[in-house]
Chains A and B, each alone.
Chain A
Amino acid sequence: MSHTFTLDGKTIPFEDGQTIIQAAIAAGVFIPHLCYHPDFKPHGSCKLCTVKVNGRHTASCTMRAMAGMVVESETAELNAERRALTQMLFVEGNHFCPSCEQSGNCQLQATAYHLGMMSPHYDHFFPNRAVDASHPDVLLDFNRCILCSLCVRASRDVDGKNVFGLSGRGIGTHLIVNAKSGQLADTDFSLSDKAAQVCPVGVILKKRRGFAVPIGERTYDKAPISETANGN
């Protein structure tokens, strides 16, 4: 039985149950993504990993690989669409890279580099979002949240704590924490939680660790995201 599909003309083997992105990563092929993380159930919300399967757009993190599929990913059309989504994420929040501790380690930024995003293009929303510095060890800067829900999934599925959740709807969707006060200090969150490690952008930041690695020497300064561990 031929357990393969083609991705941009390349033959990709897969195992039953694998999604397209899982099989691609296993074969060493990078597909841009933000809300996908190999340790968690796929979410399928950021849509960066969208590919064309037999000519139809679909998220590669939720679509199971099937024998004989013809998948396109690195096309000018798809990368232009991914770039537009990345630009949307930039104008939706407040992403000021020069003053962000995560700069250089940020997957949103690195993905934008990868896609050749020279500007956010759209008009900025400049939303009014809070910073929560209540917790002794961790700072939450909601300005940078891209609603990937990785912290939600990590806290719920790994830590068993439900520290994070999404509330609101539409453009008003936002991250909340599990406390009546709305403050992280009033939750049982701890630095050792899986949820503390998974933020792809600069929302969940460890306190007193700022700029330990200088700008210019960080993960994606050294190599593009398509060639680093987080890309795979």
Chain B
Amino acid sequence: MHAEAVAGIVDRVVSQYRRDPTCLLQILREVQEACDWIPPEAIDRMQLLLGVPRTKIEGVAGFYAFIYTEPRGKYRVLFSDNITDRMQGNRVLMERLCNSLWVERGKVSEDGLVSVGKTACTGMSDQGPGMLVNNYAISGLTAERIDEIAELIRSKVPLADWPPAFFKVEDNIRRADILLNADFKPGEALLAARARAPSDGLNSSNMRSWREGLPSGIGGPAATLDEIKRANLRGRGGAGFTTGLKWEACRNAPLKAGHQRIVVCNADEGEPGTFKDRVLLSKCPDLVFEGMTVAAYAIGATRGFVYLRGEYRYLLDHLNTVLSNRRRENLLGKDICGLPGADFDIEIHVGAGAYVCGEESALIESLEGKRGTPRNRPPFPVTNGYLDQPTIVNNVETFAAAALIALNGGEWYAGIGTKHSAGTKLLSVSGDCARPGIYEYPFGVSIRQVLEDCGATDTQAVQVSGPSGICVAADEFDRIIGFEDIPTAGAFTIFNQSRDMFEVARNYVHFFQHESCGFCTPCRVGTSLLKNLMDKLHKGAGSPYDFAEIEKLNTLLQSMSHCGLGHTACNPVLDTIAKFRPYYDKRMMQQDFTPAFDLDRALSAARQMTGRDDAGAHLATEHGGQS
């Protein structure tokens, strides 16, 4: 592509984003959609138009796995490499595509046409194996589909002309409850929230609330917040913070001149094995957007963002259409539902392959167009969030629940589920079962019940809430889903007796190593050391010395890491060591200290250069410990 053409594209994209440097990630993403990568000339132009230093642009571009500062081909194929994709045979399919296209895994083909690599879970575990082509999701891959894709690539058919059936994504809703069954008309929840205001001075109090927040107990916003509190709603992203408290803290945070309050919907559903936010956004986006608007009403926010993970890029156009419809219906924009001063709008930012951005402060950094590094806290986002403004960040499912609470009241909601866990929870069920998909249950459902409902037999273990969650063994299947027992962000990955739980843990360790942001020493280096040790065990070269090292690293990562990623990176290892120890023991064939690397292979270059193959040109990988 000529430098002038590149500059033209950058000019178009940058002006579309109002020359706003906080939109840098969005600009990079869209320029790449047009150019296939970010050529140096594009950075030249951005530097000029945005007035930001090159170090910043390159720093941001280099952080996100889906932004390329080197050519990666016209077709960029990434196979989802979650443990479920592995179980569904993704490796064989990847080999098949590579062989068919004459391309080496991870490299670009010689003609520069295509690259084939792997990526973290693309959120299609119920219909895997999955892949992304130029960040568009394809699921349910088969050998035949791979061959068709190879042919389309070889024939250079533009992605837009590929058969639409390829890109069909199923919702697979297997059990619906109050959320997924909600017979909801856009605007209903907002009207209900408004109606809940005491009759005295509805408008005036609301105007004050939108602008500066209100003392507790007065007016519609406060009444809405009270309902959320009464509902005992807790965050659905995994941590389970009380939503009402978060909203209240944000509403009460002092507002500096020129600042506004911000509502952010965290749709960066990156935890391997979860996909319920994808289904919520595809099936009931209005409910989610309405929940955000209810939140804005309650806390007096005027600006909203959805941070949509890059893997769900395919949902963007549809979601934008829904937003336009809502603007047209006066459910977004100025004076929403005819309430003077009730101004709120939502824009969607799309991520670019960084799991860590699911952490709320990293997400905010990313929204600001920066590297997705978790912030030092305190201060917390509720007081100093997006561009230092008071901000709430909630999960997609939390907002959907909030809309229902606004509609039906807090008491109704609190009556569902258990005492400590009100409402329902969407579970993303995948792995070894007959009916993978979305199951919505009132909190308090047992693991055993879910397994029964989804047709799982011979189950050895369930990974609840993904790699950063917990691994539950068969003797714990009577435990329940709920904040009082097993909290979850939604992933429910099932492993039958034929699965090797060491390999499950190793897959997750690779995931964390790939997703570590690199900010803090323990996580940056520790996840790599952990990966190397797990790989050593995998090769059968491990010894009890390595095992002791793994346990020491686990402790260090938990105590010294900067954020949840590092703290939880060891969970899968710790859990499987505690509950499935034989899978580790069987790998520690060596009782003595073993070398860190393959000694014989370490002579390979010299053998090749000298042509020697005599006994002296080899090294036995015998143990090196004390006999």
Contact = CB atoms under 8 A, between A and B. Distances in A.
Interface of A: 42, 44-48, 50, 57, 59, 62, 64, 81, 84-85, 88-89, 91-92, 122-123, 125, 146-147, 152, 162-173, 176-180
B371 A166 contact: yes
Given A91-B525, A152-B55, A167-B59, 19 more contacts: A50-B560, A64-B378, A81-B556, A84-B552, A85-B560, A122-B529, A162-B55, A163-B55, A164-B55, A165-B56, A167-B62, A168-B518, A169-B371, A169-B516, A170-B517, A170-B527, A170-B528, A178-B55, A180-B44
Interface string B510-531: 0001111111111011111100
Most chain A CB inside 10 Å of its own CB: which residue of B378, B521, B526: B521
A72 B248 CA distance: 34
Nearest to B597: A123
B560 A170 contact: no
A146 B518 CA distance: 11
Contacts of A167: 55, 58-59, 61-63
A179 B532 CA distance: 35
A89 B516 contact: no
B53 interface: yes
B357 to A, nearest CB: 11
A179 B58 CA distance: 10
14 contacts: A44-B520, A48-B521, A50-B559, A81-B560, A85-B560, A89-B525, A123-B597, A147-B518, A166-B371, A168-B518, A179-B54, A180-B40, A180-B43, A180-B54
B556 A178 contact: no
A169 B521 contact: no
A153 B520 CA distance: 16
B524 A170 contact: yes
Most chain B CB inside 10 Å of its own CB: which residue of A91, A123, A166, A170: A170
B562 interface: yes
Interface of B: 40, 43-44, 53-56, 58-59, 61-65, 354, 371, 376, 378, 513-522, 524-529, 532, 552, 556, 559-562, 596-597
Contact of A81 (B518, B520, B559): B559
A162 B527 CA distance: 30
A63 to B, nearest CB: 9
A165 B526 contact: no
A48 B526 CA distance: 14
A33 B552 CA distance: 22
A169 B55 contact: no
Contact of B518 (A48, A88, A163, A172): A172
B253 to A, nearest CB: 18
A171 B65 CA distance: 13
Contact of B62 (A48, A168, A177): A168
Contacts of A180: 40, 43-44, 54
A173 B519 CA distance: 8
Contacts of A152: 55
Nearest to A85: B521
Most chain A CB inside 10 Å of its own CB: which residue of B40, B371, B525, B562: B525
Contacts of B371: 166, 169
Nearest to B56: A165
Contacts of A170: 513-518, 524, 527-528
B543 to A, nearest CB: 14
A178 B529 contact: no
B532 A123 contact: yes
Contacts of B63: 167-169
Contacts of B522: 47, 85, 88
Contacts of B64: 169
Given A45-B521, A62-B376, A169-B518, A176 B529 contact: no
Contacts of A169: 62-65, 354, 371, 516-518
A81 B553 CA distance: 10
A227 to B, nearest CB: 24
A84 B526 CA distance: 10
B518 A84 contact: no
B363 to A, nearest CB: 15
Given A165-B58, A168-B518, A178-B53, A59 B376 contact: yes
A33 to B, nearest CB: 12
A168 B524 CA distance: 12
Contacts of B516: 169-171
Contact of A57 (B514, B527, B560): B560
Nearest to B561: A47
Contact of A46 (B58, B517, B521): B521
Contacts of B520: 44-47
State the 6 A-B residue pairs at the shortest beta-carbon distance, nearest first. Answer: A165-B55, A167-B62, A173-B518, A162-B53, A88-B525, A123-B596
Nearest to A77: B559
Contacts of A179: 54
Contact of B562 (A44, A84, A92, A163): A44
B528 A171 contact: yes
A66 B526 CA distance: 31
Given A44-B376, A89-B525, A170-B517, A178 B562 contact: no
Contacts of B376: 42, 44, 59, 62
B55 A171 contact: no
Contacts of A176: 55, 58-59, 62
Nearest to A82: B560
A97 B61 CA distance: 33
Contact of A165 (B59, B519, B529): B59
Contact of A171 (B43, B525, B556): B525
Contacts of A168: 62-63, 518
B542 to A, nearest CB: 13
B385 to A, nearest CB: 17
A202 to B, nearest CB: 18
B380 to A, nearest CB: 13
Contacts of B562: 44-45, 47, 59
Contacts of B525: 88-89, 91-92, 171
A205 B196 CA distance: 67
A180 to B, nearest CB: 6
A89 B521 CA distance: 7
Contacts of B517: 169-170, 173
Contacts of B40: 180
B8 to A, nearest CB: 19
A169 B60 CA distance: 10
Contacts of A42: 376
Contacts of B560: 47, 50, 57, 81, 85
A123 B55 CA distance: 32
Nearest to A161: B53
Contacts of A89: 521, 525
Contacts of A44: 376, 520, 562
B532 to A, nearest CB: 7
